[in-house]
Every structure is written in C-alpha cells, then in structure tokens.
Amino acid sequence: MSSKLIRIALVGLSTHATSSWAATAHLPYLLSPRGQTQYKVVALLNSSQEAAEKARSHFNLPSDVKAYGDPAQLAADDEVDLVSIVVRSDKHYATVEPSFRAGKAVYVEWPLTESLERSLALVGKRDGRDRNVIGLQGRLSPVAAKVKELMASGRLGKVLNSQVRGFFAMGLGKQPGTLLEGPMEEMFSTRGIGGNHFSIGYAHMVDLVHSVLGEFKDFHSQLQIRWPEVVIVDKDGVQLRTRKNDVPDFVSAHGVLAPGAANIQDGATLSVLYRSGKQFKGELPFVWYIQGQTGELKITSPIGPILQAATVPGVKIELHDYKTDEVTEIEWESEWKDWQKELATPGCKLVGDMYNRYALWYQQEDKDAAPVGGEWPTFDDAIRRHEELDRMLKDFDKTSQR
C-alpha cells in the first residue's frame, strides 16, 4: 500500500462564494489529522488568480499552494492528482471540463452540471470503472447504513411500500413565496442555473431514499410552480422587489421499485412528496416510512431532508414491531467512525468519508479491486439521478404547454 499523498486542488474556496461548502465541509477534513495523512492541498482555483491568492491567505494555507484563475492552467498542472469542484452548478462544466479531459480525477459537488444534456456532454462514453466522485454524500450517512442493516436483518419482513415527505426552507424568507436577497435568489428562481430547491433539495432527498430502497422500475410525477413570481425580501422581511420564477417548488412522485435491494417485495411502491418552504407548525420537516410485513420504520429529522448535514441531535430511527406492538428507537450515532466524531463542522463528516474512501482506494495496490474503505457515489450515479430529474421536468413542461 502506497503512502503517497494525493495532491489536491480546491476550486471555489472563497470567503465570498455563493456557498461556503468548500470552507465548511471540504477544507476541514483535508486539514484534519486524518486528512493530512492522505491529502496535500497544492492549488486553488478561483474566478481570478488574485481571488485565489486572497483565499490562500485567508485560510492560512502555505505560500507554496498555487493560485490559479484559469481552469486550463490548472488542468495543465502535472502536480495535481485530484480536483475538487465546489462552485455554482452552472459553472461546473467550464470549470471541470479541462481537468477531466486532461485525465485528472475529479470530485464535483452535486449536481454534476446544470442539466442532463450538459452532464452527458461532459462525461461522454467511458470505458472501465468510473472512479470520479459526485457529491451525493447523503447516501453515506450512518442513518442510511443503519436502515439498510435493519432491512437486511429481516426485522421488517419483506418491504411492501415506502413513503417520504420532505420540506426544505434554505434561502427562503419567513413568508411563503419569498426569497432572501443575495446570491441564492437567482439560483433558486432560475431553473437554467441548475442549483435550486428541486435539483438540490429534492434530488439529495430522493437519492438518499434510492440508495436504500433501489431505483424506480417505473414512476410518474407531478410538479408545480406555486409562485411564478417570488418576492425578494431582506433579513427583516422587508419586501425589496419581485423576480420571475420557473423552478418547480412542489414535487410528487410515485412508482414501483425495481427488484434488487435487500428484502424488497416484488411490486413494492415508493411515494415521495417534497415542497420548498416550511412544514406545518409543530411537525417535522422530514419523515420517512418504510413498511414491511412484520414491522415498520419511521425516520425523522428536525433539520429537513438533507441528511448529509445530519450532525445535530434529533435524527431518529424508530421501529414498530407488529408482533409485540412496541416502538423501539434504534441507536445509529455509534456508526460514526472515531475520526468522524472529531469533525464538528456540519457536513464535514460525510464529505470526509468521501475523501477517506477515495484515499483508501487510491493507496491500495489493485485499483480494479473493490475499494477497501467502501464504495462512493460516482459520475454513473450522477447521470442516473440527472436522468430521473430530466424526465420529471420534461413531463412537467409537456403538461404545462397543453
């Protein structure tokens, strides 16, 4: 096993970025005791070389970390092994494409690009096993692992059906139909950018569910834009202006699950309901039921459907045993690895697991063998999720044009 450090370039590490995900979820692991045994940050790419230099200084990175403002320059750097893309989704393609074409390994936060068409254009036809990384890290949650373990154990019997309901209020004002002013207002009201409540909130939620129950064999969906025009408000709720909105903010999907996942009965169904905005007062913003022949699971979260940030207390797994008619809370937090427990930043635990799994595979001699640290979501998974979302949007557009 090689002890060579993976030389990594971070794209989008900035104090002024639309999202602080690079600073709060990626960098803390890379600079953690475990991360530093696997990785070395050797380059930054920002909108300009000056911006990259400012980020290097702000985050106290060594002076020999290279600062780039041009993706082509980064792609030409032979001293970079892995490029991590943490920028706005409509900038993914232009940012990652040069490094990807140059043969570098890439880690791209979800979504891969702003659309299925662009994602397919990026990925193209590939031979061999995909070892790139897509940021669908929710499927690595200990919650998902524990639920799969319970299903495989037979404690539910054959799974008959599942229902999941999620609400996502990120970037919204206190009143329905409002968005907070700032860089996210454009993202959350413009479908073409590709980073909105449907493509992020709904996609992360349903990907977690699919990672446990398997994909749809077939499904139908109903999307709705409840507010074709949204009101932009400041942090105090004062109305500033209005914006056109073409992003579906209410999603319903229902279908039959494909065979393959452990203990799923043929013909088992999955029903998903999602909406942007807050839940009914006093209720939880994420509730997921999995009913089996002999018992039922209920998974709940007080922070909504984004379990990749499930580092706060309150996420519960409960099992209703039909035979005893008792409800038992299933402990899952012990599933965190020791090094993950030391990472306090929300989201960093699962992003760290992505990096850890990739590094363990990178260090193993037989790269064609199964990763010793476990699989991670790849570009193949990204295309699969993009295909599902694309079908839903096309069906919605056809219905809207009638």
DSSP 118-153: HHHHHH-S--S----EEE-GGGG-HHHHHHHHHHHH
- Residue at 126 is within a domain: no
Phi, psi of 291 (to 5 degrees): -95, 130
Does residue 160 sit in the same domain as residue 173?
yes
Co-location of 63 and 146 in the same domain: no
Look at residue 307 and tell me if it is in a domain.
Answer: yes
399 within some domain: no
Residues 284 and 243 in one domain: yes
pLDDT at residue 322 tops 70: yes
Do 377 and 133 meet the contact criterion of CB atoms below 8 Å apart?
yes
385 domain-assigned: no
Domain extent, residue 192, equals 139-335
8 A C-beta contact, residue 141 and residue 208:
yes
Closest residue by Cα to residue 40 from 71, 66, 19? 66
In a domain, 381, yes or no: no
Domain identity same for 238 and 347:
no
The three-state secondary structure class of 191 is: helix
Cα–Cα distance for residue pair 53/42, rounded to 1 Å = 13
Are residues 170 and 271 both part of a single domain? yes
Q: What's the mean per-residue pLDDT of the chain?
A: 93
Residue 38 lies in a domain: yes
CA torsion angle for 49, 54, 58, 63 (degrees, to 10)?
A: 60
Q: Is residue 301 part of a domain?
A: yes
Rounded Cα distance, 85 and 79, in Å: 17
Q: Quick one: pLDDT at residue 347? A: 81
> Do 363 and 326 reside in the same domain of the chain?
no
Cβ 59 vs Cβ 23: under 8 Å: yes
Residue with tokens 């290097």: 56
Q: Average pLDDT in the 113-134 region?
A: 90
- Same domain, yes or no: 349 and 311: no
Same domain as 225, residue 168: yes
Answer yes or no: do 247 and 321 share one domain.
yes
User: Is residue 311's pLDDT more than 90?
Assistant: no
Residue 80 amino acid letter: V
- Residue where a domain stops, chosen among 317, 335, 353: 335
CA distance 251 to 73: 41
Please tell me whether residues 212 and 82 are part of one structural domain.
Answer: no
18 near 183, Cβ under 8 Å? Answer: yes
For the record, the structure tokens of 386 come out as 């993009």
CATH number of the domain that 24 lies in? 3.40.50.720
Q: Which of 31, 6, 56, 12 is nearest to 342 (CA)?
A: 31
Domain total for the chain? 2
15, 63: one domain: yes
Residue 122 in domain? no
Taking only the tens place, the pLDDT of each residue in 299-308 is 999 989 887 6
Lowest mean pLDDT across 13-27, 38-52, 148-162, 344-358 = 13-27
Q: What are φ and ψ of residue 142, in 5° steps?
A: -55, -25
pLDDT bin (cut points 50, 70, 90) of residue 310 is low
CATH of residue 168: 3.30.360.10
- Alpha-carbon gap, residue 64 to 44, rounded angstroms: 11
Same domain, 40 and 165: no
